[in-house]
Structure 1
């Protein structure tokens, strides 16, 4: 359980850092790419064994990590496009509601436990995610032609969580969690560097030192959010559907409260109802572990 709590805190810290990006006008793309480099290095440092690159490329998870790296940076860019075309609330809902994909996958494919408390908690969690994420007056009209972007964010985010569980279950050895996580971020960084090279060639690249610093600050909690989540998925007493539900809803809850306390964000009635439902869902799903 401690890994899950720490993963929630690390993911919530990412939210706070992103809010500071907007305040200090950080170039998010540059910071994200630096963040991937730092997260990769963090995983390499955390790996307890000598790194044999030839052996790593032969691991069953290697090509999966490569694909996940591409998906990581692709989903991030899709989130940015969704925010621009449909509004921040739509992007938030698409990202958070994607938890339904690994939950359903875990129950159907891994035959994970179900029960009235757990199912009720999951359903309430999804409602809570929607109500808490949706803010009034996004400033961007929702157009039918732009729905492809939140749909891709929804699917992409769901694939990431589902894939993490799959590789953790079948391919990643106990001692390889650090290097597996590092590889994902490493491949994402490689794709990011190609983007920067393209921007440099087209003359649209302007590097600012604050973007590098921002990326370094983001990289460490980003690495641990994934590393600790994978470790939490290894906890025998909790199914992945339970872990993903608690993790996703708790991150949203902590992030929302941080927004109120640190950034003076204003919430409407439905957001507060969502927060109450989020707490109820966490309690129900947690108690279902003991049932």
Structure 2
């Protein structure tokens, strides 16, 4: 025996059928939370959107640093710290501008998160094609097309 075990196909794996429910609930939760915060009159004060957007990343950085310090992992390299900071700046910007879109009236609030999700998928697909010559399969192309049609239909109605 070589110490490996085999499982029958499908055993030990969760079905992906639950993913649409998770996406629906996740998008709804994000939309609801942003709605609560952007409706709050204190968010209109100068700098409040910027402060609100920075809290999750500041807390995430502190928790990550504390977790790293208590573990026996080697010290982070300078390039890892710089890359983490760059990612934090990009994430901060995306959250800040997401708040601005919620307040801007450009889209209905219920359309902001689905449109954002679709744009991320389309952009990632384009980067994959252009940078890595990764041509999406028929199923992926249909998925992107149907998502775009669904969001377009929701915007039209």
For 1:210, which of 79, 91, 94 is the aligned residue?
79
Distance 1:235 1:193 in 2: 35
**Residues 1:177 and 2:49 are matched in the alignment:** yes
TM-score (norm 1): 0.42
Structure 1 residue matching 2:105: 3-state secondary structure = coil
Which structure 1 residue ranges, 4+ long, deviate > 6 Å from structure 2?
Answer: none
**Residues 1:230 and 2:154 are matched in the alignment:** no
Structure 1 residue matching 2:134: 3-state secondary structure = coil
Question: Is the Cα–Cα contact under 8 Å of residues 246 and 285 in structure 1 kept in the other structure?
Answer: no
Match of 2:25 in 1: 101
Match of 1:257 in 2: 126
Equivalences for residues 75-114 of structure 1 within 5 A? 94=19, 98-101=22-25, 105=28
Unpaired runs of 5+ in structure 2?
Answer: 1-11
Q: Deviations over 1:30-63 (max 9, x none)?
A: xxxxxxxxxxxxxxxxxxxxxxxxxxxxxxxxxx
CA RMSD of aligned residues (A): 2.8
Distance 2:137 2:106 in 1: 37
Which is higher, the Rg of structure 1 or of structure 2?
2
Pairwise CA distance, 1:164: 2.7
Q: Which moved more, 1:187-196 or 1:262-271?
A: 262-271
Structure-2 change in CA distance of 1:216 and 1:190 (3 Å): closer
**Residues 1:286 and 2:155 are matched in the alignment:** yes
Match of 2:5 in 1: none
Distance 1:97 1:213 in 2: 36
For 2:67, which of 195, 206, 221 is the aligned residue?
195
Equivalences for residues 1-291 of structure 1 within 5 A? 94=19, 98-101=22-25, 105=28, 159-170=29-40, 172-174=42-44, 175=46, 176-199=48-71, 203-236=72-105, 238-288=107-157
Structure-2 change in CA distance of 1:194 and 1:217 (3 Å): same
Structure-2 change in CA distance of 1:187 and 1:217 (3 Å): closer
Structure 1 residue matching 2:104: 3-state secondary structure = coil
Distance 1:232 1:99 in 2: 21
Structure 2 residue matching 1:207: 3-state secondary structure = coil
Structure-2 change in CA distance of 1:99 and 1:172 (3 Å): farther
TM-score (norm 2): 0.73
Unpaired runs of 5+ in structure 1?
Answer: 1-84, 106-158
